[in-house]
Structure 1
C-alpha cells in the first residue's frame, strides 16, 4: 500500500486545473506528478494489479493485501474524481478502479490530440 503523506488532501493545491474538454494534457501532467510523489501513479498506469481478494479459493476471509491495494486504488480514484469538471465526472462516475477511470479519460480525450 502507498504510504500517503498527511498532506494528500491538498490535491487541489497540486493540480491547479480541473479536467474539461480542452485541457487534458495540462491536467494529466499535473495529476501524474502529484500521483508519482505519493506512490499512486502505479494504480493508474497499470503496473499495480490487485492481489487475490480472498486468502484462498475455499475461504471467505478477505486477503489483507487486497484491502491495502483497494484502499490505495480508491485514493487514486478519488484524486481523479476530485480533479475533473462536473461534466467529465458524469462520464466516469461508474468506474470502480482508478485504472478504469484513467483509461476511459485517456480514450475520450487523448485520441483527438494525436498523441
Structure 2
C-alpha cells in the first residue's frame, strides 16, 4: 500500500470533533472522511494487513531478522492508534484501553457506539415521528430531524427520503397546513436535499 506523504500528526488538526457519548455519527463521519482522504482508513477497517514479521530465506526458511515492511506497518498503525486516541473524550478512551492495533480500537467503537440497543432505536424512531417544530426556526427543526435520521441510519435502520419528508411535515404547526397539503398531494416525491 502506498501511503500518503502527509504526516499522520498533521491530520489531528483536521479532526475537530472529539468523540463523546452523544456524537458518534458526527465524529465517525469526520474521522473517516479525513482518514480515507489520505489513504489511512484501511488500517482501521482491516484492509491493510500486517506484513510477515520475519524475513524468510529461501534456503534456511524463517529467520530472526524482522522485515522493514513489518516495522513500517507497525509504526504507521501505532501512529494511527495514537491519532484516534487524541480525538476521544475521557469517557470514550475507556473503550480502547488495551487495544493494540487501530483495527482493534475501531472494532471496539463499532461494538460500543454503532450497534445501538433496540430500546434506543425505538426511542429514536418515536422521536423521529413525533418531533415538533415548536418555536424553532424551520432550519433548526429540519436539522434536529436530520440528526435523529443520521443516528437511526448509523444503527442500520432504513429511513427513506419520503420518511424524512413525512416526518418533517407532520411536525409542522397548523399555519403550515397549506404547504403540507400541497406537498403530500404531489405525484413525485420531494427530496430533503431541496430544503434550504
User: Would you call these one fold, judging by a TM-score over 0.5?
Assistant: yes
Bigger mean CA deviation after superposition, 55-64 or 25-34: 55-64
Larger Rg: 2
Stretch of structure 1 that moved more, 87-96 or 54-63: 54-63
Q: Give how far 1:69 is off.
A: 1.1
Note the C-alpha offset of 1:54. Answer: 0.8
| Equivalent runs, 1:67-78 vs 2, <5 Å | 67-78=71-82
Instruction: Specify which structure has the higher proportion of strand.
Output: 2
**TM-score (normalised: structure 2):** 0.54
Q: Which residue of 2 aligns with 1:3?
A: 4
1:114 is aligned, of 155, 167, 183, to 155
Of the structure 1 ranges 57-66 and 80-89, higher mean CA displacement relative to structure 2 is found in 57-66
In angstroms, what is the RMSD of aligned CA positions? 1.7
**Bigger relative contact order, structure 1 or 2 (CA pairs below 8 A, ≥6 apart):** 1
- Asked if 1:59 corresponds to 2:63, the answer is yes
Verify: 1:49 aligned to 2:49, yes or no: yes
Report the TM-score, using the length of structure 1 for normalisation: 0.88
Gaps of at least 5 residues in structure 1 are none
Residues 46, 103 of structure 2: 8 Å contact kept: yes
* SS of residue matched to 1:55: strand
Shift of 1:91: 2.0
Contact 1:2/1:72, CA 8 A, preserved across alignment: no
Tell me, yes or no, if structure 1 residue 100 matches structure 2 residue 83. no
CA distance in 2: counterparts of 1:24 and 1:90, whole angstroms: 15
Any idea what SS the aligned residue of 1:95 has?
Answer: coil
CA distance in structure 2 between the partners assigned to 1:72 and 1:58 by the alignment = 24
